[in-house]
Amino acid sequence: MNYILALLLLVISTSSAAKLRAFNDKSPREKSAELALGFRKLGEYKFSGKQSGTLNAQSSYGFVFEGGYNYTQNWYFGGFFALTSSDYQADVVREDGSPDTVYSSLSYFDLQLVTRFNMLRTSLTPYIEAGLGMTSIDSGVASGKIVETCWYDPLFDRYICGYRQPNKSVTDLSATVGIGVRYETTNKSFIKLSTNYRLINYTKTKERPLLGDISFSIGMLVD
């Protein structure tokens, strides 16, 4: 929370050396592109396998980068990518039937196309949004053959070789819905706070994974 307040103060103090816009001022976003960088907090979640096994993941932090175009003061079309990693504990059953516990981390890479509807035409507005894209999940669990890899190290001016085993990973379609509030601090900058839910079309769990997050973003409008 402290870093969010620090970023907010930075935007306010450096926003074109101008006064903040009144909440009911007409928005300048129409016919403007925008870029935003934000932080998101992913909530705790739980997955259960169809046959056995339960995964409990801790809440975690990640980042999100957004970009798009405001066709009108109400309608925005764009996309975002986000990266988040969560530590987890999984209770599993080995092939011999004995119970075991696995500790590792899940990494999520999200790529979504998003449409957003700003409910008001003023600089301060609530909004709703929906998106469709894909989510790639790295389980943090080694899977597959061990392979030898080599790379050039410019510091020692020589090639170095080693062995690695890739992790089990999956990529599936996902859909996002969310609500939020946006405030354009000046004609060229804005801040945004939102909460989103993402449903991943992964069918090897009892229920498709549903992830919830809260994000805070700082952005700029581009003519």
Question: What DSSP assignment string belongs to 51-75?
Answer: SS-EEEE--EEEEEEEEEEESSSSE
Whose CA is closest to 186, among 2, 69, 32? 32
Q: pLDDT tens, 157-206?
A: 777 777 666 667 788 999 999 999 999 998 889 999 999 999 999 888 88
Whose CA is closest to 23, among 181, 217, 200, 198? 181
Instruction: Give pTM, 2 decimals.
Output: 0.78
What percent of the chain is modeled with pLDDT above 70? 83
Please report the pLDDT score of residue 9 as a whole number. 52
- Of 15 and 149, more confident: 149
Structure tokens at 159: 């090639």
Helix extents (H) in 15-143: none
Mean pLDDT across the stretch 73-99?
A: 84
Averaged pLDDT score across all residues of the chain: 83
pLDDT(17) > 50: no
Please report the pLDDT score of residue 10 as a whole number. 53
Please state, in angstroms and rounded to a whole number, the distance separating the CA atoms of residues 108 and 202. Answer: 13
- Identify whether the C-beta of residue 60 lies closer than 8 Å to the C-beta of residue 41: yes
